[in-house]
Amino acid sequence: DIVMTQSPATLSVSPGERASLSCRASKSVGSNLAWYQQKPGQAPRLLIYGASTRATGIPARFSGSGSGTEFTLTISSLQSEDFAVYYCQQYNNWPYTFGQGTKLEI
């Protein structure tokens, strides 16, 4: 299985600041990477697919980059509603795998 490793586990930032979340794959997944946001008590929500394509309705402050084994989710100016857990997911090889998550907190 491809192991997805996210860092850091927890990121403490302030509203208005920029946040960069990292995701590393144990082998190349090309651009077959998605990012999801999950708030407490809610289902995950798709943010990014194809490593850099924003899903419908996702604000422009969310951007994704990278390919192969190294990926980054950047939130340019944090809003209060962005504090949540973020997961990356590779869909290049079955079984698809998630990272363990990065918790974004104030």
Partner 1 sequence: EVQLVQSGAEVKEPGESLKISCKGSGYSFSNYWIAWVRQMPGKGLEWMGIIYPGDSDTRYSPSFQGQVTISADKSISTAYLRWSSLRASDTAVYYCARQGNDGSSWYNPWGQGTQVTVSS
Judge contact between 63 and 77, C-beta under 8 A. no
If you write DSSP's letter for every residue of 19-82 in order, what string do you get?
EEEEEEESS--TT-EEEEEE-TTS--EEEEETTTEEPTT--TTEEEEEETTEEEEEESS--GGG
- Residue placing its CB nearer to partner 1 in the complex, 24 or 45: 45
Q: Are 99 and 79 in contact (CB under 8 A)?
A: no
Q: Which stretch binds partner 1 (CB under 8 A): 14-22, 60-68, 73-81, 92-100?
A: 92-100
Distance CA 29, CA 83 (A): 27
- Closest approach of Cβ 102 to partner 1, in Å? 10
Site string for partner 1, 69-88 (x = CB under 8 A): ------------------x-
Shortest Å distance, C-beta 25 to partner 1: 15
Q: Which parts of 21-50 interact with partner 1 (CB under 8 A)?
A: 32, 34, 36, 38, 43-46, 49-50
The contact set with partner 1 (CB under 8 A) reads 1, 32, 34, 36, 38, 43-46, 49-50, 55, 87, 89, 91, 94-101
